[in-house]
Amino acid sequence: MYNFPHTGIQILSLPLMEHFYTIQGEGYHSGRAAYFIRLGGCDVGCVWCDVKDSWDASRHPVTEITKMVQWVQATTAEMVVITGGEPLMHNLELLTKSFQQAGIETNIETSGAYPLSGKWNWICVSPKKFKAPLPEVLLHANELKVVIFNKSDFDWAAKHAVMVPDSCKLYLQPEWDQAEKILPQIIEYVKQNPKWKISLQTHKYLRIP
């Protein structure tokens, strides 16, 4: 079983579920070329999660950070997105340092449920009811992206919007399987609350990873 580190020790390898070069489909950086590194391990437990295979870190090979950097450098990618699973279950200091030294922008997508580690150009926090984000992580958020599954999620979004910096970008994103039903409600909510924007999973419409 992989031991999730929460110390200051630099981690040379991390459990890797998958990696691929694609187009960012969601949120503020939607439409940009991005290399995705999906780490294994998550205990947040979203019932609608579309990557449940990532939850058990022991199922995924522990991979050297130097190899990950080489993969990205072999492409024209200028930005890497670290996601999961829940990437902050791991110490990400060396991972981000290695990418930034290679001139690659580091972005993270996290639930915020674990302490922040690493140096980031962009932090997207997507808070989940199943395991709430830490207030200190929300204070560093550049982007708040709330997945809307049912009507009560609008209150969840509003609750966390007051916990992020004024400069933080605010997005509501329909849960994919509920989109047809919930999207009209999101549209009306954004019209009434224009500080929010709508995020769509455009990569699914484009049929890319």
Q: All domains of the chain, ordered by start, with CATH?
A: 13-206 (3.20.20.70)
Q: Which residues of the chain have pLDDT under 70?
A: 1-10
- Model's pTM, two decimal places? 0.93
Cα→Cα distances 22→90, 112, 134, 206, Å: 24, 24, 30, 11
pLDDT computed for residue 3 by the predictor: 44
Per-residue pLDDT of 149-172, as tens digits, reads: 999 999 999 999 999 999 999 999
